[in-house]
Amino acid sequence: MDLFLWLDILPDASNTWTDYLLLFLGILLIGLGGGLYVSGGVGAGPRDGFMLSISERTGLSVAKARIMVEGIVLAIGFLLGGPVFWATFIYTLILSPIFQFSLKFFTRLRSKLEGGY
């Protein structure tokens, strides 16, 4: 991110409908990408691994466990003085169900593809 700020090629946010569209498109892509790499079995990152462990041990859905983990990270960031805006909450609440959907979808797709060989 610092590289792109240094290059000064990112447009300034102007709170237009395109900014909101890009925000939701970014959240969608992050959710789909996260579900894809976790379902691929290439290893989950620390937050995703923690979220999956919580989901598995407590019986919570992946979406609820992810909201919990993202909420904890959000609170820690806020307590450390990081910026927290409304989009941070939107990210936390919308990303989780998208991640759960894509994880289930890509896990089923992987099973079908592996079963066909």
Report if residue 43 sits inside a domain: no
Domain annotation covers residue 49: no
Residue 69 inside a domain? The answer is yes
The answer to whether residue 104 sits within a structural domain is yes
* CA dihedral sign of residues 22, 93, 32, 3: positive
Spatial separation of the C-alpha atoms in residues 116 and 73, rounded to whole Å: 40
Structural domains in the chain (count): 1
Structural domain contains residue 20: no
Residue 82: inside a domain: yes
The predicted-structure confidence for 55-107, as pLDDT tens digits, reads as follows 999 999 999 999 999 999 999 999 999 988 888 889 989 999 999 999 999 99
- Please, are residues 48 and 70 in contact by the beta-carbon 8 Å criterion? no
Domain that holds residue 94: 61-117
For the entire predicted model, the pTM comes to 0.80
Residue 50 covered by a domain: no
Whether 73 contacts 83, CB under 8 Å: no
Q: Name 50's Cβ contacts closer than 8 Å, sequence gap at least 6.
A: 69
- Considering the domain boundaries, does residue 109 fall inside one? yes
